[in-house]
């Protein structure tokens, strides 16, 4: 009589199982690594923006990833302009990272900027929009503050003024001068409401691609570290 015992192994099944487990770990590591790299890139770009004196603009840099979105697709991590590329913040990020020449939009002659005498935003057509001479007129501010008077100052600059106003000594905000004498506000014969220019040029102030590229090159290292953690 023979006493025997054997353990059979199917090499194909073992390889398939190991390969599947490895692919699973590899994808998990890639999700961790791309999330980490994009977060580091976000912080790096924000710090670079702050270092050149554009601190508030740093808040417009957002981040997302497969890990954050719990997406089942390919692992990815991205930084982006909050509000979209077409928003004011998105345009500013693009301009300051690449440099740009900004001109008025189609059908417009001037880039206009409100002063502290008028609100920065108004309601127009049921939406909150940036104050321009056009939105100022459409919002009813001509009644509460006064009508605008356009004054060109050469070929490349212009101003819009409002006559006979009173100004807040704290904020500089204007309102129409009433018939009664005021003791709490400053009376002004006129105040500048908007400044207009034909074109403005912005030099590049920071290099977002350089920062992102630095952290993108670290993804393999982040993956190795993530795999090591997953296999503990």
SS (H, E, C) 133-159: HHHHHHCCHHHHCCCCEEEECCCCEEE
Contact 69, 78 (CB under 8 A): no
Domain boundaries, the chain: 14-100+206-230, 104-198
Contact 28, 199 (CB under 8 A): no
> What is the per-residue pLDDT across 126-136, written as a single tens digit (0 to 9) for each?
888 999 999 99
Low-confidence ranges of the chain (pLDDT < 70): 1-17
Q: Which pLDDT score, from 0 to 100, does residue 13 have? A: 56
User: CA neighbours within 13 Å on the CB side: how many for 200?
Assistant: 14
Q: Which pLDDT score, from 0 to 100, does residue 15 have? A: 55
Taking phi over 0 as left and psi of -120 to 50 as alpha, with beta for the rest, 180 belongs to: beta
Q: Which pLDDT score, from 0 to 100, does residue 3 have? A: 40
Q: Which pLDDT score, from 0 to 100, does residue 33 have? A: 93
Can you read off the two tokens belonging to residue 128?
A: 């909150």
Query: Could you write out the three-class secondary structure of 117-131?
Result: CCCCEEEECCEEEEC
Beta pairing, strands 149-152 & 127-130: unpaired
Q: Which pLDDT score, from 0 to 100, does residue 183 have? A: 82
CA atoms of 144 and 71, how far apart (whole Å): 52
Q: Which pLDDT score, from 0 to 100, does residue 191 have? A: 97
* pTM passes above 0.75: no
Q: Which pLDDT score, from 0 to 100, does residue 40 have? A: 95
């Amino acid at each position: 009589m023979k006493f025997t015992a054997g353990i059979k192994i199917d090499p194909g099944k073992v390889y398939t199982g190991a390969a599947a487990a490895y692919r699973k770990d590899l994808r998990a590591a890639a999700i961790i690594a791309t999330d980490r790299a994009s977060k580091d890139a976000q912080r790096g770009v924000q710090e670079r923006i702050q270092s050149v004196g554009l601190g508030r603009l740093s808040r417009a840099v957002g981040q997302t990833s497969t890990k954050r979105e719990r997406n089942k697709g390919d692992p990815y991590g991205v930084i982006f302009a909050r509000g979209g590329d077409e928003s004011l913040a998105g345009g500013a990020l693009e301009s300051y990272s690449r440099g740009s020449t900004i001109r008025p939009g189609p059908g417009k002659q001037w880039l206009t900027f409100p002063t502290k005498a008028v609100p920065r935003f108004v309601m127009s057509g049921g939406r909150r929009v940036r104050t321009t001479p056009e939105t100022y007129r459409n919002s009813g501010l001509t009644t509460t503050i006064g009508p605008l008077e356009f004054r060109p100052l050469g070929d490349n600059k212009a101003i819009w003024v409002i006559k006979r106003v009173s100004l807040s000594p704290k904020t500089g905000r204007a309102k129409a001068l009433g018939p009664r004498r005021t003791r709490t506000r400053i009376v002004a014969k006129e105040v500048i409401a908007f400044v207009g220019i034909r074109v403005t040029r912005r030099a590049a102030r920071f290099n977002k691609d350089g920062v992102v590229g630095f952290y993108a090159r670290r993804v393999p290292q982040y993956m190795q570290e993530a795999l090591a953690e997953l296999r503990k």
